[in-house]
Amino acid sequence: MPELTHTTCEIISETRRLACELNRPPLESDFAQQSEIAPEACLDEFDEWGDLLREAGLEGIQRPHNPPESLLGDLRRGCDKSGTLPTEATVEQLTGNSPAAYKFWFGTVQQALIEIGHENNESENAFDESSMLDDIRRVSDYVDRWPTPTDMRTYGEYSPNAYQYCFGSFSTAVSKAVVDTY
């Protein structure tokens, strides 16, 4: 039987699914027992388990108290009540939930809007590669080194998942930001 290969995106998605189910970051044994993706496949793609958790946005942050369904319900009600679509800057005022909670579960507020069937076309919410790379450089200047996914979650405008979506991986985005700087 041929060995199945999984994309980085599939592995990260499965890691986040297990985290939701377990209410904690998954262990290798969790993959072995509860996933179709073998832990060995994860380690083929990521050198260390911690690298996988960082790329999935699950290391160094606490899981928001609100489950994703609750966040989406609050977002839907806020949009319906106000007749507007929030930006990352206005989502807390509209829903009572922090932008970080939406970043944790959905990558961006924009992606949460897509999940409920709305799409905010305002340019500040669009994935603009140039502004995303500028954000990496800005955070780099702030932390005085090239940023980690945790740095971007804490200080950046975009989550590591947004970089994964646009560039294939967070590390590819950082590499591109470095190359474009010099």
Query: Could you state, in chain order, the average pLDDT of each consecutive group of 10 residues for the chain (182 residues)?
Result: 72 86 81 93 87 79 72 88 80 86 78 79 58 92 89 83 78 83 56
Q: How far is Cα 19 from Cα 101, in angstroms, rounded to an integer?
A: 14
Classify residue 5 by its DSSP letter.
-
Q: How far is Cα 26 from Cα 17, in angstroms, rounded to an integer?
A: 9
Q: What is the pTM of this model?
A: 0.40
- Note the Cα 141 to chain centre separation in Å: 22
Contact between 173 and 134 under an 8 Å Cβ cutoff? The reply is no
Q: Tell me which residue has tokens 């909670």.
A: 101
Contact between 175 and 133 under an 8 Å Cβ cutoff? The reply is no
Contact between 159 and 146 under an 8 Å Cβ cutoff? The reply is no
Per-residue model confidence (pLDDT) at position 32:
92
Per-residue model confidence (pLDDT) at position 13:
87
